Amino acid sequence: MADTFQAVLISRDEDKKQSVDWTELSEDDLMEGDVTVAVEATTVNYKDGLAITGKAPVVRRFPLVPGIDFAGTVTKSTHDGWKEGDKVILNGWGVGETHCGAYAGRARVNGDWLVPLPDGMTPKDAMAVGTAGYTAMLCVMALERHGITPERGPVVVTGAAGGVGSVAIALLAGQGHHVIASTGRASEADYLKELGASEIIDREELSGPARPLGKERWAGGVDAVGSHTLANMLSMTSYGGAVAACGLAQGMDLPASVAPFILRGVSLLGVDSVMAPKELRIEAWQRIAKELDHKKLGAIASVVPFSEVITAATDIIEGRVRGRVVVEMPG
């Protein structure tokens, strides 16, 4: 009999009602791929919360093992780039959406989707960063390419106490930026200042309908919220500034005006982490390993056992999670 391992499985009945269950799987149950990985750590992102709670149609194939991130060790490979014993990270590529994901003891994937675990990082470290933190680094890199330096003026980070926001604050502050953190959780002010935020503003300042142009308050920003919040950020961005957008916590709509773009030369920089090319991924992870203060990483992340992953997924959707959640897999 093949060795089995515990897994979370999302299913849907004939009436399209979703259910989430614990089950035992074997490698025979996994999907196609040329690399098999022993999952040593994973995480709970907002997208994972949406998948498990069914709040959004993240999972598009049933039944499916959710979980869009993992880090672990290669156990089998027919891919030229990987061999048994290699330490790897996976983010995105439809894993946990259309391909069986991280919430299982093993994962079988396309080797082209994997990147090497940077030297000096453990699987738990990598999952303390996860897709949220890797996306935050992609946003920072996008702002850099646009010339948003500390000398240009303050930068704003929305959803500041969440995973993307927390890592973005730490990275931007580490580069010397004056970071304005927007949050709906006033109780997290000390945490955000510990990460490097210079100012805290209430998200209510940005969450209502935006004026076509507001007072110029920042040179750039990182937004994981979308909707009115992003519209307000754009209206308050200074001449020639830019906002990197990567999320939709408030909504997918963008009720904005063209005024910031045509009167102030503001740029909206779209950031996608799911299908980002491998070269960009490797650069982002190498920079995370070098630039993200490990002490801050410890403050950002909490660790839960695999048995609590479903509870953590609900908590993140209900706004009860600060920073990042690392899921420790059973030995």
Residue ranges of domains in the chain, CATH in brackets: 4-117+324-328 (3.90.180.10), 130-270 (3.40.50.720)
pLDDT score, position 2: 63
From first to last of the 331 residues of the chain, give the pLDDT tens digit. 468 999 999 999 999 899 999 999 999 999 999 999 999 999 999 999 999 999 989 999 999 999 999 999 999 999 999 999 999 999 999 999 999 999 999 999 999 999 999 999 999 999 999 999 999 999 999 999 999 999 999 999 999 999 999 999 999 999 999 999 999 999 999 999 999 999 999 999 999 999 999 999 999 999 999 999 999 999 999 999 999 999 999 999 999 999 999 999 999 999 999 999 999 999 999 999 999 998 888 889 999 999 999 999 999 999 899 889 999 998 7
Q: At 196, is the secondary structure helix, strand, or coil?
A: coil
Given a contact cutoff of 8 angstroms between Cβ atoms, the answer to whether 101 and 260 are in contact is: no
pLDDT score, position 297: 87
The neighbouring-strand residues paired with 10 are 20, 64
- pTM of model > 0.75: yes
Given a contact cutoff of 8 angstroms between Cβ atoms, the answer to whether 109 and 35 are in contact is: yes
pLDDT score, position 294: 84
Cα–Cα distance for residue pair 133/139, rounded to 1 Å: 10
CA-closest candidate to residue 107, choices 156, 39, 204, 183: 39
Cα–Cα distance for residue pair 189/198, rounded to 1 Å: 10
pLDDT score, position 1: 43
